[in-house]
Amino acid sequence: MARKTKKKAANGKWEKARTVLEMQDVHAAYHGDISILNGLSVAVKENCITGIIGPNGAGKSTALKTMYGFLRPTQGSISLDGREISGLPPYDMMANGIAFVPQNRSLFNDLSVEDNLKLGCWQFRSDKRKVAQELEKVYAQFPILKEKQHDMAGSLSGGQQRFVELGRALVVEPKIIMLDEPTAMIAPKISREIYDFIEALPERGITVVLVDQNVRQCVNVSDYIYILDLGRNRGEGTAATFARDEHLKEMVAEWLDYQID
């Protein structure tokens, strides 16, 4: 497959890219007592795919939720283009050019596919022409959704629902998209389609933050990878670094039960 070697050839891309979104020494907790993030630092660079991997409960999803404002960091900073954004509510993130597709389903099951996409256009809902244009773009990307536009979102297959979520995230033309396990519980054929889609995003000027359990795919697609454990940084590097660094390889093999080759 073409994907396998592409990233390793694109050496130097990460180093040259500008940091757009940065978490520095972030601590966060649910309900004030269960601490999930304990000083996490992640840098997301423009038009790159930043992968975040780690064992279950490492705080990967929490890291994304905190970046998106669902959790307020108790300590540390989150900045977008050098501007502090921690403490902003999630509904302000879209206006700041960040879209989010969470791990658990984020569709409105009893609304049609079309209505789900239209709600994605909430920010510019009064501009009917732009809404229609954006919907057409989504249908062009995922033709199956045009066929199903009047079906209830909840009646779609898991993969099709994921397409709606991805399409809905893109209608606002975000600069950054955060994806939490985009292919969890999705058939392999559709998964491949989704990874191809993700890999093409930087060429469209969209920066990607990818949290994934599927370490092999994540390492293949990502320009740079962070390894998390217990809410802390445990390792990081480009895919090429991973291939060279025995320590990193060992760590991943041990925690994630996966051998990097």
172 versus 176: smaller Cβ distance to another protein: 172
CB of 154 to another protein, least distance (A): 9
Least distance CB 145 / another protein (angstroms): 16
Do 164 and 156 meet the contact criterion of CB atoms below 8 Å apart?
yes
On the CB side of 233, CA atoms within 13 Å amount to 15
Beta strand 224-229 with 232-237: parallel, antiparallel or unpaired? antiparallel
**Smallest distance, another protein to C-beta of residue 186, A:** 18
3-state secondary structure of 79: strand
Task: CB nearer to another protein: give 115 or 193.
Answer: 115
If the CB atoms of residues 105 and 192 are measured against another protein, the closer one turns out to be 105
> Contact residues for another protein (CB under 8 A)?
31, 68, 70, 89-95, 99-102, 105-111, 115, 118-120, 122-123, 125, 168-169, 172
Name the residue nearer to another protein (CB basis): 88 or 225.
88
Smallest gap from residue 49 Cβ to another protein (A): 20
Cβ of 148: how many Cβ atoms within 10 Å?
A: 20
Cα–Cα dist 139/153, whole Å: 15
Structure tokens at 215: 């370490």
Specify the residue, 17 or 172, whose C-beta has the smaller distance to another protein.
Answer: 172
Residues whose CB falls within 8 Å of the CB of residue 173, separated by 6 or more in sequence, listed in order = none
Q: 121 vs 227, which CB is nearer to another protein?
A: 121
Under 8 Å between Cβ of 222 and 242:
no
Q: What is the closest distance, in whole angstroms, from the C-beta atom of residue 175 to another protein in the complex? A: 14
Q: Which is nearer to another protein, 129 or 247 (CB)?
A: 129
How far apart are CB 137 and another protein at their closest, in Å? 16
Residues whose CB is less than 8 angstroms from the CB of residue 74 and which lie 6 or more positions away in sequence, other chains included? 27, 28, 29
Structural Rg of the chain based on CA atoms: 18
Helix (H) / strand (E) element for 214: namely none
Q: d(Cα 111, Cα 117) in Å, to the nearest integer?
A: 10
Q: Compute the least distance from the CB of residue 112 to another protein, in Å.
A: 9
Asked whether 237 and 245 are in contact (CB, 8 A), the reply is: yes
